[in-house]
Structure 1
Amino acid sequence: MSSAEYLQGACVWHGADMQTSPRWVKHFPAAVLDEIDTAVHKASDIDWQDVNRDNFPLPSAAPFFDDVRAELENGSGMVKIVGLDVGRYDAEQLRRIWYALGRHLGTPMFQNRRGELMREIKDEGAGVGAKLYGATVDASGKEFLSSGARTLSPGELRFHTDRCDVVGLLCVRQASEGGVSKLASSATVYNEMLKRRPDLHSLLCRPIPRSRFGEEAGGQYVSYDLPVFGVREGKLTSHFSLTYIENAQLLPGVRRLSDAEHEALRLLLQLAQEHCFEMRFAPGDIQLLNNHIVYHGRTAFKDDASTGQDRMLMRLWLSVPNSRALPEDHAILWGDVASGMPHGGIAQPATPCTV
């Protein structure tokens, strides 16, 4: 029987309530939009990767960003920012703007072993994701894609978290059909599982084998153990991606999950679905999610490039200065687990990766 306590606070929410609650939706102040417009034109000769808070100043934005970070860390764990007119800017200007916003909010982290700090999330076509992020075969001989590869396809994405404090998505274009974001409070899932099945809850508080498949160079051969649920100082972190758990089960020498552990993982996904809500992006919308307390997924989508409805999002992974302290055993994945320290992201190879 689990001895865990129920989580409290604004991070515990139900999807039906969040659909009607405006607290997580924030509008860019008009002054900040004016400053963005001024800064992006002054930074026209600066590569987006060299943009920082000094060469892309937003002098009146500090209180707004403080409010955003507070909602992410101590509130619901999610924010949608609206008001940016992406139609005013070309692709390079949007990259400067988005990276600058990331630098004002926190520290951008590497998203893959090739050192990308910003990634376009779109349908890259058959085989591209597998080449970039890796694929193998399962026990039946069927192709098994890494999580990174799956993001570059139009297929459904299961509930998961990314390897950073905050994942940020800027919608540039939306698909003609689908591509709906699904969000669930991992704190609510934690509480519901503790209430319904404390025996299964306790299993997810213990180490579960994972694979680094498709992340670090050579990572398809590396496994590690990490609980799905970890709590430190009353704050949850739930790092979860079923793909990496499933892939670990394909590796030799990795402990095989018990039937009860498989049942616990199925229940987690069931509870996430029960308590989620759906949010469709509009061009210019910015979604920010605290990965420690929010699971996110996506419905499948269809593009129609002839009408300009081919889904494209720009993604940043951020470490934020007000981040929570993580349990000590999470250092195997996150690095420094102290509060407010840059952690997460993908470790870079000692020599440049050419794949």
Structure 2
Amino acid sequence: MTNTTIALEPISGPSAWRGDELAGTTEWIYELAPGEIADLEAAGRKLVADDPDLRTVTAADYPLPACTRLNEESGRQMDTGRGFILIRGLKTEEYGDVLAGAIFFVMGLHLGQPIGQNQMGDLLDHVIATSDKTLADEGAKPSRVRDRLPFHSDSSDVVALMCLRGAREGGASSLVSGTTIYNEVLRRRPDLAPLLLEPFHWDWKAQDPDAPENTYSSPVVSYVDGIFSVYAGMSMIFSAQRFAEVPRLTPEQTQVLNLFDEISQEPGLALDMNFQPGDVQWLLNYAALHSRTGYLDFPEPERRRHLLRLWLKRDVGRPLVEKFGKHVVTMGEPAGGLLPGGRFAIADAAQPNFEWGN
């Protein structure tokens, strides 16, 4: 599929939201019913008892008969709604991390196929500060520091988070609508907006040190058959300029990339979610960008801010321009192949790997 020119009119629909309009509502929060909670807990306990290789399990192995409405609403919001949903009501503080991780993994199985997130191929990863590094430090991993993160897309169709423990202060999950950002670019600079549909070079080496090529290419915006999708993380486009073989960005390209980033940071656009333990957030990467506010941890290691993360492949036939997003990753496998040390049993996967990402 190829990009078609977007008419110079704003894109409408449920994905074109503003955070300041949603913040005073609960329409984006799904409160679990007692029967749904019981169903999820039973499936999680079965996964813990079975102790399978997580790479082999399917949704059919762990049915959720009471969660039909939950799964349908989660999928609808991601695919054709706002692009995200927050699920609330799980009692993770009572479960312990292993059962919580098992429940989260089963939930993911019913919405897509979990894919590897790091060089070891781990299907369940952790967002937890493992050192006092900052993003400015060489080798720092965004999921392992406490800094505020820029808005970006991940290397999957869906990214999901489960909160085990919140921060002492800060650490809100921030989402912003890609459609709303594009509409603002279009309103302010209609001459520059179409450039976002053209391919840019992205720094592949900065994302995967063992990548076989320095860069890959993708547009920021896909518009096929009337469906708008976004893929962003402008720092990777600017970083790709370090390679001599990459064409230099034109002044107009630089302007539109900077404008896109500037708009994403403007007051009122983003929705900040202060996670409660047990909250689960599902996000379609093509609809919204995500970030995190900076935070302070509790001094005790066992009370550190700790989120579990899933990346899912979710194939619902969404039309996308060819080679859109991080298309160079097949099913999430790292460019250089899997390294030893992957954790594919739930008891291991639910615990952070402190030997990686420090």
- TM-score band, normalised by the shorter chain? 0.7 to 0.9
Normalising by structure 1, we get a TM-score of: 0.85
Task: Give the partner amino acid of 1:313.
Answer: L
- Aligned ranges 1:173-192 → 2 under 5 Å: 173-192=165-184
1:326 matches 2:330: no
152, 162, 170: which is aligned to 1:160? 152
Partners in 2 of 1:2 and 1:8 — Cα distance? 12
Secondary structure at the counterpart of residue 304 of structure 1: coil
Deviations 1:125-146 (A, max 9, x none): 156x99xxxxxxxxxxx85557
Q: Which position in structure 1 is the counterpart of 2:279?
A: 285
Q: What is the CA distance between 1:308 and its match in structure 2?
A: 5.3
Question: Does 2:219 correspond to 1:232?
Answer: no
Is 1:39 equivalent to 2:34 in the alignment? no
Distance 1:230 1:319 in 2: 18
Aligned partner of 1:92: which letter? Answer: V
The C-alpha deviation readout for 1:36-66, integer Å capped at 9, x for no partner, is 2223333333236255323423112122201
| AA partner of residue 125 (structure 2) | R
Where do residues 307-318 of structure 1 align in structure 2 (5 Å cutoff)?
309-318=303-312
Cα offsets for 1:179-216 (capped at 9, x unmatched): 11111100011111111101221222211110112444
TM-score, scaled relative to structure 2: 0.85
Q: Which moved more, 1:45-54 or 1:171-180?
A: 45-54
For structure 1, which segment, 217-226 or 86-95, has the greater mean C-alpha deviation from structure 2 after superposition? 217-226
Alignment of 1:207-286 (within 5 A): 207-216=199-208, 218-219=210-211, 221-274=213-266, 275-286=269-280
Q: Which has the higher contact order (CA 8 A, sep 6+)?
A: 2
Pick from 100, 106, 109 the counterpart of residue 103 of structure 1: 109
How many angstroms apart in 2 are the aligned matches of 1:42 and 1:4? 53
Contact 1:27/1:81 (<8 A) preserved? yes
Structure 1 position 163, deviation (Å): 1.5
Q: Is the 8 A contact 1:86 1:172 kept in 2?
A: yes
1:83 aligns with one of 68, 85, 89: 89
Moved more, 78-87 or 303-312: 303-312
Rounded Cα–Cα distance in structure 2 between residues aligned with 1:171 and 1:281: 6
1:113 and 2:107 aligned? no
Give 1:219 shift: 1.8
What amino acid is the match of 1:287? Q
Could you tell me which runs of 5 or more consecutive residues in structure 1 were left unpaired when the two chains were aligned. Answer: 131-141, 337-342
Ranges in structure 2 where 5+ consecutive residues have no aligned partner: 342-355
Q: Distance in 1 between the 2:87 and 2:317 partners?
A: 20
User: Taking every aligned residue pair, what percent have the same amino acid on both sides?
Assistant: 28
The SS at the match of 2:223 is strand
Distance change >3 Å, CA 98–CA 122, structure 1 → 2: same
Aligned to 2:307, what secondary structure does the other structure show?
Answer: strand
Partner of 2:350: none
The answer to whether the Cα contact below 8 Å between 1:204 and 1:229 also exists between their aligned partners in 2 is yes
Match of 2:18 in 1: 14
CA 4–117 in structure 1, closer or farther in 2 if over 3 Å, else same = farther
- The total of aligned residue pairs comes to 334
Q: Which moved more, 1:237-246 or 1:40-49?
A: 40-49
1:70 alignment partner, SS class: helix
Change (3 A) 1:285 1:240: same
